[in-house]
Structure 1
């Protein structure tokens, strides 16, 4: 199974924010949409960063609420690992586990086309395991 299969099931909607937005705007969007990360994109929808709840909590926890006036570009992770729609679910599981991140932007032709979370991956993998288990039970019962 591929990343594309996850996106086809969950959809391609992604919350984005420009790098010159404030951290306050990012926090409000995270809270309003009840999400864990926002992809930071430029005007052409190219990924330039990602900002997560963890990033916000770390910065505000260390420096206080005055950081809410900083720009997203000052706080975001700028070296973003991305995926291609053709990568396997196993490949991205390994990347996310090794990198210890929970959100993976999906790009095609250099532009953002979706976002996959670790929850999406786990849900997809559990459904896949259930299908395999059902197929095995049906095979055993038919012999």
Structure 2
């Protein structure tokens, strides 16, 4: 199973903010969209990613005053990305090793989607259910 197959089911929608958006506004967007991360983009260029973990970390370090800071001060700048041809196993390894839960998908230098650990778990559960059903059908006909 590849990233492409997940995106074909999930869709290619991307939620992003510009680097100068205030952290409070980005947090509001995360809540409204019920998501755990937002891409930080300067027009179509990926500048960083802002996750719930980034927010918790910076609030702990700097207190509530940081809510007025631009997301560019808080975001993760060294963003690990993936390609549509990467496998779910490769993504799980990247996420486990890097201790993060969101991977932007890049093709030909452009962001084409975002994969979360939740997307991977959902797809794996669907695969296991399909395998179980196939095995049950096989046993019935054997």
Q: Any stretches of 5+ residues in structure 2 without a counterpart?
A: none
Give the total of aligned pairs: 142
**Separation of aligned partners in 1, 2:113 and 2:137:** 35
**Separation of aligned partners in 2, 1:39 and 1:32:** 15
Residue 3 of structure 1: aligned partner: 3
**Partner of 1:61: helix, strand, or coil?**
helix
How high is the TM-score relative to the length of structure 2? Answer: 0.94
Q: Any stretches of 5+ residues in structure 1 without a counterpart?
A: none
What is the CA deviation profile of residues 83-122 of structure 1, one whole-angstrom value per residue up to 9, with x for unaligned ones? Answer: 1011111110111111111111111111111111101100
How high is the TM-score relative to the length of structure 1? Answer: 0.93
Residue 41 of structure 2: aligned partner: 41
What is the CA deviation profile of residues 114-139 of structure 1, one whole-angstrom value per residue up to 9, with x for unaligned ones? Answer: 11110110010110111112212222
**Partner of 1:132: helix, strand, or coil?**
helix
**Partner of 1:76: helix, strand, or coil?**
coil
Residue 92 of structure 2: aligned partner: 93
**Separation of aligned partners in 2, 1:128 and 1:35:** 24
Q: How far is the alpha carbon of 1:140 from its aligned partner?
A: 2.6
**Partner of 1:83: helix, strand, or coil?**
coil
Q: How far is the alpha carbon of 1:10 from its aligned partner?
A: 1.0
The answer to whether structure 1 residue 103 and structure 2 residue 102 are counterparts is yes
Runs of 4+ in 1 over 4 A off after TM superposition: none
Residue 15 of structure 2: aligned partner: 15
